A = this chain, B = another copy of it.
Amino acid sequence: VDDTTQINRLEAFSDGVFAIAITLLVLELRLPQSTDTGEGGRLLTHLLELWPTYLAYITSFITIGIMWANHHAMFQIIRRTDRNLLMLNVILLMFITFFNFPTVVVAEYFQAPDGRIAALFYSGTLFVIGIFFNVTWWYAARNPHLLDPQFDQGRSAALTRQYSIGTTLYLIAFVLAFFSVTASVGMCLLLAVFFAFPLRPARRN
């Protein structure tokens, strides 16, 4: 009972951080401050010009949503915690929260000469988050007393595979940024859509 209570608070705290990290993204959707409301005909232009920000908002929102679902899946197998796991989770959340910053940078610099740096920063952060998902999961898997005794080996192997593949794909997006900013950022968007709605039918989990 004690251990499950602990996991419940870890989940509640994590859900809170995910919920806030995902919601703060909307604060970046703002009209330019110098906007003059006195003259007509410009609001539509301003709203349309924000398209890179909309794309960044959608990509990052869905990506954090997927991370939340993955975190969720991981803590259906992990049912106990120790101090190390608590702190690994805090560090994982630190990088996920940090992701807000490259989102702002990529939205602002996507079309600027410095777009490459922005794309490297964005995909690189996703790559680092992927690594910390692997580290957290690897720590738990090495400490079987933390896991649900009746957990499904198949699901555990699926998680391991999924985390490795995801991390590798974000490494590819990172490398891609050296060749094409659009390809790198576009790949991050496509990965969000594909991870959200895989082509194969959803398993009833």
Contact = CB atoms under 8 A, between A and B. Distances in A.
Nearest to A82: B202
A79 to B, nearest CB: 10
Interface string A86-103: 110011011001101100
Interface in A114-155: 114, 117-118, 121, 145
A65 interface: yes
B47 A117 contact: yes
A178 interface: no
A76 to B, nearest CB: 7
Contact of A118 (B9, B20, B43, B72): B43
A190 interface: no
Interface in A40-97: 40-44, 47, 57-58, 61-62, 65-66, 68-69, 72, 76, 82-84, 86-87, 90-91, 93-94, 97
Contacts of A94: 58, 61-62, 65
Given A21-B23, A27-B100, A43-B117, 15 more contacts: A9-B15, A11-B12, A15-B16, A16-B16, A16-B20, A16-B23, A31-B105, A37-B114, A40-B112, A41-B113, A65-B90, A65-B94, A69-B86, A87-B196, A91-B196
Which 7 residue pairs are nearest across A and B when measured between Cβ atoms?
A: A16-B19, A40-B113, A65-B90, A43-B114, A37-B112, A20-B23, A29-B101
30 contacts: A9-B15, A9-B72, A13-B19, A13-B68, A16-B19, A16-B20, A20-B23, A20-B24, A26-B101, A29-B98, A29-B101, A31-B104, A37-B109, A37-B112, A37-B114, A39-B113, A42-B114, A43-B112, A47-B105, A57-B98, A58-B94, A61-B94, A61-B97, A62-B90, A65-B86, A72-B86, A83-B202, A84-B197, A87-B196, A145-B204
